[in-house]
Amino acid sequence: MIRVLLFFLVVCLSAGLTGLIRLYALRNRVLDIPNQRSSHTTPTPRGGGLAMVISFAAASAWLYLDGRLPADATLALAAALPVAAIGFLDDHAEVSARLRLAVHLLSAGTAVWLLNGLPAVLMPAPLDGLLGGLIWQVGSLGYALALLGLVWSLNLFNFMDGTDGIAASEALFVSAALAGLLHYIHPGLAATALTLAAASAGFLIWNRPKAKIFMGDVGSGFIGLALGLLIVLATREAPALLYCGVILYGLFIVDASYTLARRALGGQRWYAAHCSHTYQHAAKRHGHANVLLACWAINLLWLLPIAFWVFSRPAYALAAIALAYTPLILLARHYQAGHPEFQP
């Protein structure tokens, strides 16, 4: 009952704050002006992700004070706040890429240090036999793997926050699914994941097509890092949850990775702003609302069942990831992700 009440309180807080931030953005001309990376055509207020940051941070603090969230987990999640701060500055006045990267690495590195890296990894077939046991104690390598994964998760949301509702929907879906998987394993961590889902849902009320406000860098980086941290924390409680998280996150991982690879292999400046992700090409052809509905359908009807199946049968995780990702790769290929223009 407490979780249900907390969920609705955070939804209301996030939605209310988003409305106030929208008024602030309009009055102070904090607008997202259409450019070559944009999927919108009119200037739109940005920075609404600050509402998600405040709502999730407040709920996490309460869970810690109530004894439901461990101190190291609370501090690790708090390490994501500098990412939100540099994003807030970037939403108001452009910040250098080097400074942003330094803050991202410092925040992710601090969180990794607080959590002692990646915990023991459950090795699926056939790797369990090759590495001499079902559980792989990654040791010091776990720090590097965790840092790499967190920085990639952080950037995934920055890459993929380019059409109405998609980033908030992904955060809502992945965190809610993690909350369900953690329900009987670690109720406090499940409640934390649920509050991230609630913060995302409150913002989504304003961000759904046609979006009245965008998340901005203040939200995309923070949410990406927080979601990655939740997966690491979940893995610490049940090693199989690492693979569940990778599957649940599949829509963003495949689209961003495939697009980046195609741009690099095609001789393009892969680090430059662009508008060639799968979801962006699809939105140009089918519209933002239809793409968002398709993303929800893929997540709920395809990725979610596979993730829950892997949780009970982690030995088949590699095969399950291949199964989950194959249609997504084919979808990216169909929509010519990584190419400047989609040619039907």
Instruction: Specify the pLDDT at position 314.
Output: 87
Per the model's pLDDT, the better-predicted residue between 97 and 341 turns out to be 97
Residues of 68-99 as b/e, b for ≥16 C-beta within 10 angstroms?
bbbeebbebbbbbebbbbbbbbbbbeebeeee
Residue 134 has pLDDT above 90, yes or no: no
Q: What is the share, in percent, of the chain residues with pLDDT greater than 70?
A: 93
Instruction: Specify the pLDDT at position 102.
Output: 97
Residue 10 has pLDDT above 60, yes or no: yes
Sequence-distant (6+) residues with CB within 8 A of 81 are: 53, 57, 107, 222
* 79: confidence class by pLDDT, cuts 50, 70, 90: very high
Instruction: Specify the pLDDT at position 162.
Output: 83
* DSSP E strands, 180-338: none
From the list 298, 306, 300, 340, the residue with the least C-alpha distance to 323 is 306
Rounded Cα distance, 6 and 86, in Å: 28
- Model's pTM, two decimal places? 0.94
**3 state DSSP class of 135:** strand
* 130: confidence class by pLDDT, cuts 50, 70, 90: very low
* 133: confidence class by pLDDT, cuts 50, 70, 90: very low
Rounded Cα distance, 46 and 218, in Å: 9
Average pLDDT over residues 101-117: 96
